[in-house]
Every structure is written in C-alpha cells, then in structure tokens.
Amino acid sequence: MKYQVYSLATELPKSPAEVFDHITNHVSEWWPEQFEGDSSKLNDEFEFRSGDSHYSKNKVIEWVPNKKVVWLVTDSIRKTDGFVWTGTKMIFEITPKGNNTLLTFTYDGVVLEDEQERLAQICDMVIKENLYNSITATK
C-alpha cells in the first residue's frame, strides 16, 4: 500500500451555495455506489456499498458552509482482495470564480501500489463526470 494525495479541480456553472448543497444533500444522485445515511451536517455518518464486495463507512469531520466539506473513512473493506482504506479523507473545497464555482476535490489516503492510475480515473469519473453532470442537470 502507498499513501496517496490526488487532487482535481472542475469549474461548475453554479453558485458556491448550490455546489455545497449538491455535495452534501444529493450524494446518491452522483456517487456511483449505494448511499445510506446522512451527509448534511458535521458528524453525520453514512455508508457506501457495491453489493457485498465494497463497503465504506464515512463521517463528516469538517463542515464550512459553502466552502468546504471533509469526509473521513472510518471503516472500509474491499472483500475481493482485503484492501482497507480506513483513515482516508475526501476533501471538497469550494471557491467562487466569477459567476461560477471552482470545486477542488482531494483524495488523501491509501491506495494499492498498482492502483494509482485507477484511483485517478475513478476520482475524475465521480467528480468531473458524475457530479458535474448531476449538478448541471438541476435547474
């Protein structure tokens, strides 16, 4: 396993408040796994699952309205190979940019040595495609 920090940024044609609301209150619309729980305030806990093979429990550990949200993985397992990424942080930073909003997402945690490129592809898909498409489809 290797410690990895991977960041990406995307500009969204929405206000910081709209981006923040979508990240915190509409996770099930853009996250590619089953979402259960709440992520709409500090100390909320929620789970992601992909069938029986992939599981993570997360907690909102930082909450700055319209500016920043941090999720901490408090429990995790990928049953196919026993990979655990507990302790990983997923950081969403929101910055106004003219009439748009710059969203910077950072994965700060562990990854298997041979999955660094896969991590980048998944983060890009989830944020630059799923989240972007979900938030821009809302009126």
List of domains in the chain? 2-137 (3.30.530.20)
Residue 39 identity: S
- pLDDT for residue 17: 97
- For the cut 60, the answer to whether the pLDDT of residue 27 exceeds it is yes
3-state helix, strand, coil in the chain (%, to 5): 25, 45, 25
Residue-level pLDDT at 113? 87
pLDDT over 90 percentage in the chain: 94
Tally of CB atoms within 10 A around 23: 22
Please say if the pLDDT value at position 77 is more than 60. Answer: yes
**What's the whole-number mean pLDDT along residues 58-86?**
97
Q: What average pLDDT does the segment 58-69 reach?
A: 98
The Cα–Cα gap between 135 and 139 comes to 9
The rounded distance, in Å, linking the Cα atoms of 55 and 75 is 8
Does the predicted model carry a pTM greater than 0.85?
yes
Cα 65 to Cα 37, 62, 70, 84, 86, distances in angstroms: 19, 10, 11, 30, 25
- Is residue 139 over pLDDT 80? no
Nearest to 92 by CA among 138, 30, 1, 47: 30
Q: How many angstroms separate the CA atoms of 93 and 67, rounded?
A: 6
Higher pLDDT, 139 or 115: 115
